Structure 1
Amino acid sequence: MLFRLVRPVKRSDSSLPQFTQRIPRDVLPLVAGRTLVLPLGCETVRVRFTATMRSVRFSLRTRDPAEAKARQGQAAAALERFWVSLRTDAPAALSHQQATALAGELYRAWSDGGAGRTIAVQHMPDGRWERARSMPAEEEAAFASARGKLEAAIEADDTAGLEPTLGPLVDRLLLARGVSSVDADSRAVLLDAFARALRDAFAARERNAGGDYSPDPNANRFPEWQTEQQGRGPEPAKPAPVPAGKTTLTGLVADWWTERQAAGLKPSTHESYRNTVAAFVAYLKHDDAGRVTAEDVLGFKDHRLATINPRTGKTISAKTVKDSDIAGLKAIFAWAVANRRMASNPAKDVTLKLGKARKLRSKGLSDAEAHAILRAALAYQPGKGERPQTAAAKRWVPWLAAYTGARVGELAQLRKQDLRQQGPYWLITITPEAGTVKTNEAREVVLHPHLVELGFPEFVAKAPAGHLFLKLGREGDVLGPLQGLKNRLTEFARSLVPDPNVAPNHGWRHRFKTEGLSAGMGDRVLDAIQGHAPRTAGGGYGEVTVKAMAEAVAKLPRYEVS
C-alpha cells in the first residue's frame, strides 16, 4: 500500500518548512476552480486549485520542528477528508438545525471575551474578519461597527454579499465534518446562520468591552452537531439507481416543490425556480433532464445575461442570473441527484462572479423624493382602463410605507380584515396568510394618526371583502398578481424618483428607520414595527405593547404635502 507524504519538506530558498502533497488523480477533474481553507495551527491557509495544479503546496509558517509536524498532520488530515468528500455522489443537504449547530462553533470562537485581553475585530480588505489588538474603547466601537454591517446584510437577505466574508469559514467547518459541498438551499441557510451567529458573538464582545461580563443568553441557543443518522439505528439500504426512463425538467420542479412545500419553503422560491426552469426549457427546446449538460447551463447563463427585460428595456442583471437562475438550477438538480432522479448535477460548477456595487448615496429616500411620491399619491387619479385596486394601491401604499416602514409587498397584500381598532388606536396586521412575509411571521403595526386623518380606515370600511389592492388570479393565486402590482408601484415611484442609485419603494424602509431614530423611537420598537429580528436572544423576550408602539409612532413627524 502506498502512503502519502506526511513529513514537512525543506525548501532551499527558505528556512520555513513547506507542506507538499500530490492531488489524487481521480479528483483532479473535480477540484479546478475551487478554493479550500485549511487549518494551520491557530490560523488558516487558503488553497486555490487551478486547472494545471498537480500538488498542494504552502508554507507551514513555523521553524519549530514539533509544531511543523503537528501542522503538517493537521492539514493532511483535512485534505484527506476533502478528497473523500469530493468522491461522494452529490452535494449534501443540511437541515436548519445542522446549520445552526455548525454556526455555534463560530459563535463560541468569537464570543469569548478573553479576560485581560484587548483584542478587537477588523474587516480586512479581502473581506475576512481578523482579530487585532486595541484598547477597550476601540474594541467596543469596532465590534459595534462589525455587528452593524452584519445586521444590514442579514436584513437585506444578501447571501451573495456574505459569501466572500463567511464562505471560507463555512467551508472550513464543513470540511471538518467531512463535507466538501452542500446544495444551494443549504448554502444560503448556512451563510444566514453564520451571519447571525457572528452578529451575536460581536454583540457579546461589544458588551464585554463596555465592562459587561454577565452570562450571554445566546450561548445556549446552538444545538450539538448531529448527522442525519445519529440516533436512528443502522444505515438504511442504498436507494435505487437512477431510472432509465425520461425525467422531465418541469416534472423535477413539481416534485421538488411537493417535498419542499411540506418543509415550509416559501411559495416565492417555488415561483422563481419554476420560472427559471421554464426559461431553461425554452432555451434548450426540449424538456429532457437526462440530456442536460454543463455546457447547456453555461450557454443558458450567457443567454440570460444577454436577455432584455421587457418591463425595463434593460438586460437582466448579473445578480438576478446568479441568485435566481443559476441558484435555481443548482438546487433543483442537486435535489434530483439526491433523490436518484439524475446521475449528476450539470450546474454544480457553474458560477458567476459579481463585482461590488458602488454606493453613491444613502439607501433612504431624501425629503424631496419622499414628498414628491406622497404628493403624487395624494392627488392620484385612475388612468384609463386602470383597475380600481391598482389606483387605490398607488393612492395608499406609499403613505402606509412612509408611516410604517413596512415592505411594499407586505402592504400591497393587505386585506379588509387586516385592519382593526383597539381602543383609540388603529392597527394593521401584516401576515403571511395574506400572501407572503419575508420572516414568515405575522406582526401588528399601529397606524400613525395622520393616516387616520387622511381617511384610510374609511377607505377600508367601504372596500369589499378580501384583498384591498389585489384582484386574485385563478384558483386564488396571490403571488402572481402581487408581483404585478409591485411592478406597477415601482413604475409609479420611479417616475417620480429617477435616481437609479436608490430603490424608490425599499427606500421607505431605510427612511423610516432614520426618521424613527431621529424622533427618539427605541430600537426595540422600531424593530417590532418593521419586522426585524431581535438583536439578541434577550431581545426576543416580552412583547412591544400596542400602547408602547402607539406612543412611539406618534413621535414621527407628519408629512405635510400639498
Structure 2
Amino acid sequence: MVLSMSRPQLHPRTQTYWLRKRVPADLVSVVGRKEVTLSLQTKDPAEAKRRYAEELVKLEARWAALRKGPQKLSEREAHEIATTVHDSWLARHADEPSTQTFWPVELGKRVFTRPPLDISRPAVEAFCDPPEIGRLMVLEQWCREAADHELQVRGLLADEDTRTKLARAIGAAVQRASLSLQQMARGEWPNGYSLPASLPARRSIEAAAKVAAPPHANQAPNRNAGFVTLSGLVEKWWLEAEKAGKSPSTRESYTNTFRSLVNFLKHDDATRVTSEHVIAFKDHRLASVGRNGKPISPRTVKNSDLAGLKSVFGWAVANRLLADNPAAGVTVQSGARVRTRDPSFTEEEATTILRAALHFQRGGELAQTYAAKRWVPWLLAFTGARAGEIVQLRRQDVRRVEVAGHPGGTWVLTITPEAGTVKTKQAREVPVHPQLVELGFVRFVESVREERLFLVPDAKGGVAGPLQGVKNRLAEFAREQVSDPGVSPNHGWRHRFRSVAIEAGVSEGVIDALCGWAPRNVGGRYGSVSLKARVDAISRLPRILL
C-alpha cells in the first residue's frame, strides 16, 4: 500500500491552500491542541508547495525546541547569531548609507545601558534627556523583537534571560553596522568591506528615481523661511492634535509613516513633495513586506499611511506652512477583507487559552507580564473590552459597589481615559463576573502594591510603549495555544463576548455599553444603561468550564 505524503490542502470555500498537521502525541498537552492549521495565503499550487515546505520546517523545529525545553545561549553564541543581523543591516543600507536614520549612533551606544527605572528622576535625566529615554525604549523593544525573530527562525525556545542576552548582542551589532554606514556615507569604506563593482538598481518602482524634483515654481512662501521638514511637520501637528484629543498611538502611527516617507524620498523637505511622490510612495508601500514577512495590506496603506499623510499635510495647508496637500485625492482600492472563518474564538480555542492562562507558571518575565498572561485573557473573555483597556488598568480602577438586587455588593472595573487610551474617550464601568472573583482576581488586585496591575510605566510615567509591549506578549502567548491566523489573538475575545452575550439574552444596547461601542442609531444616544442593567447582564453570562 502506498502511503499518501503530507501536502498542502485546498480550502473548499476560499480555494486557498492550508497546512494541517497533527501534533505529536507527546506534545499535545504542551501545545494544547491535537492539530495545527495554518493558511499558506496562496492559491497557486507550486507556491503552496514551497511555502508548505518552509512552514513544515519551522513547525518541526518548534516541536523539537519544545521537547528540549528552554535553551540558554552563551554570550559568544548570542554575538554569533547577531552577526547575521549586522551583515543584513549593512547590506540593506550599503547603496545609500546616509539614509539610515532609524538607528542614531549617538543614542544607540546607550541601548540597554540606561539606569533602572526605580532611581530618582534627576539621576535618570542626568543620564539622558527625557525624550531620548523614550526613544531608547523603542530601540530596545526593536532589538527584543529582532531577537524573537532570530530565535524563531532557528527553532530555539529561550528563557527571558537568553532573549535579553541576544537582544543586547543585536543592539551592539546594529550599532557597529550603523557606525560603518556613517563611514561609508563619507566615502570611507570600513576594513573588510569593499565597494561593489556595480550597484544594482533596487528600486521597487521607477518613480522613485524622480524624487529629487524641484518644488513647484508657483508655490507660495510659508512661515518657516522656505524650508519645512517632514519630520518637523508631524511634531507641529501633534502639539495641536494632542490638545484636540488625538491618541498617542495615532501620533506614533503618523510619525512612522513620515519617517518611511523621508527614507523613500531621500530628503526631508516637505515643500518638495508632490502628488506624484505620494503615489509612488503608496505603490512602494504596497510592494513592501512588514516585520512579519507578509505583504503590507491595502487596508493598512489606506487607513494608516495615507490617512496620516492627508491629515498632517492638510493641517500644514490650513496653517499656511504648505501651499497644497500632495496627498489629497490619493487613495487605494481595497475590497472586503477575506475571512476564512468566524473572527471569534471557538469554545475549544477559548478554553485552550484560558486553561493555559490558569495554569501558567512564571518564568523570567516581569511580575506584571506574568500577571497579564494569567489574568488578562480571563478578563477579556468576561468583559468584551479591548486588550489595551485591560492592560492599562490601575489598582484604583477595581472597586466594590452596592447595586440594588445584588446583596453583598458587586466588583466593577472602571475603564477610563485617565488610565491611558480609550478609543471612545469616555469612561465606562464593567462588572466583574462572579467566576473571576472566585478564581481570585480581586485577591490578586488587593495584593498588588504598585499602581498598575499589568505593566511598568516608563521613566516619564508614560504607558504607551510598555502597553504595546505587554499586548505583544499576550498575542504571542495566545498564538502558542491557537495558531490559526484567521482569528486575532487579542481581538478574538471581543468578537466572542458579543456572541456569548447575545446567546445569553443580553440586549444589543447593553452589550454596546459594556464593550464601549457607539450606539447604532440616533435614538440610542438618549438615556444610559444603568449599572444594575450591566450587572444583570454580566451575571447572565455562563461560567466557562475547563
Class of the TM-score when normalised by the shorter of the 2 chains:
0.5 to 0.7
| Of 222, 225, 233, the match for 1:252 | 233
Q: Does 1:267 align with 2:248?
A: yes
| Of 274, 281, 284, the match for 2:265 | 284
- Matched with 2:454 is 469
| Of 512, 531, 536, the match for 2:516 | 531
Q: Distance in 2 between matches of 1:335 and 1:407?
A: 30
Q: Distance in 2 between matches of 1:313 and 1:534?
A: 38
- 8 A Cα contact 2:398 2:414, kept in partner: yes
- Matched with 2:532 is 547
Q: Does 1:513 align with 2:498?
A: yes
Q: Does 1:371 align with 2:358?
A: no
SS in 1 for 2:411: strand
Q: Which amino acid aligns with 2:278?
A: V
What is the correspondence of 1:325-340 to structure 2 with a 5 Å cutoff?
Answer: 325-340=305-320
- 8 A Cα contact 1:334 1:345, kept in partner: yes
- Matched with 1:489 is 474
Change (3 A) 1:552 1:318: same
- Matched with 2:46 is none
Change (3 A) 1:355 1:536: closer
- Matched with 2:324 is 344
TM-score normalized by structure 1? 0.54
Give the gaps of 5 or more residues in structure 2: 1-219, 403-408
Question: Post-superposition, which runs of at least 4 consecutive aligned residues in structure 1 deviate over 6 A?
Answer: none
Q: Which amino acid aligns with 1:289?
A: A
- 8 A Cα contact 2:222 2:322, kept in partner: no
Structure 1 residue 306: Cα displacement: 3.5
| Cα shift readout 1:66-119 (whole Å, capped 9, x = no counterpart) | xxxxxxxxxxxxxxxxxxxxxxxxxxxxxxxxxxxxxxxxxxxxxxxxxxxxxx
Q: Does 1:418 align with 2:397?
A: yes
Structure 1 residue 293: Cα displacement: 2.9
Q: Does 1:401 align with 2:357?
A: no
Report the number of matched residues.
321
Structure showing greater relative contact order (alpha-carbon pairs closer than 8 Å, 6 or more residues apart): 2
Structure 1 residue 299: Cα displacement: 3.2
Q: Distance in 1 between matches of 2:293 and 2:359?
A: 29
Change (3 A) 1:351 1:552: closer
TM-score normalized by structure 2? 0.56
- Matched with 1:167 is none
- Matched with 1:303 is 284
- 8 A Cα contact 1:242 1:343, kept in partner: no
Q: Distance in 2 between matches of 1:369 and 1:270?
A: 35
SS in 2 for 1:316: coil
| Cα shift readout 1:449-496 (whole Å, capped 9, x = no counterpart) | 000011111111111232211111232222222122222212221222
Q: Does 1:315 align with 2:300?
A: no
Q: Distance in 1 between matches of 2:246 and 2:277?
A: 28
Q: Distance in 2 between matches of 1:268 and 1:430?
A: 18
SS in 1 for 2:465: helix
Give the gaps of 5 or more residues in structure 1: 1-238
Q: Which amino acid aligns with 1:296?
A: H
- Matched with 2:412 is 427
Q: Distance in 1 between matches of 2:335 and 2:532?
A: 46
- Matched with 1:559 is 544
SS in 1 for 2:399: strand
Change (3 A) 1:522 1:348: closer
Q: Does 1:358 align with 2:343?
A: no
SS in 2 for 1:426: strand
Q: Which amino acid aligns with 1:365?
A: F
SS in 1 for 2:414: strand
- 8 A Cα contact 1:446 1:549, kept in partner: yes
- Matched with 2:71 is none
Structure 1 residue 244: Cα displacement: 4.1
What is the correspondence of 1:75-224 to structure 2 with a 5 Å cutoff?
Answer: none
Q: Distance in 2 between matches of 1:530 and 1:540?
A: 15
Identity of aligned residues (%): 56
Q: Distance in 2 between matches of 1:556 and 1:349?
A: 47
SS in 1 for 2:535: helix
The alignment yields a C-alpha RMSD, in angstroms, of 2.0
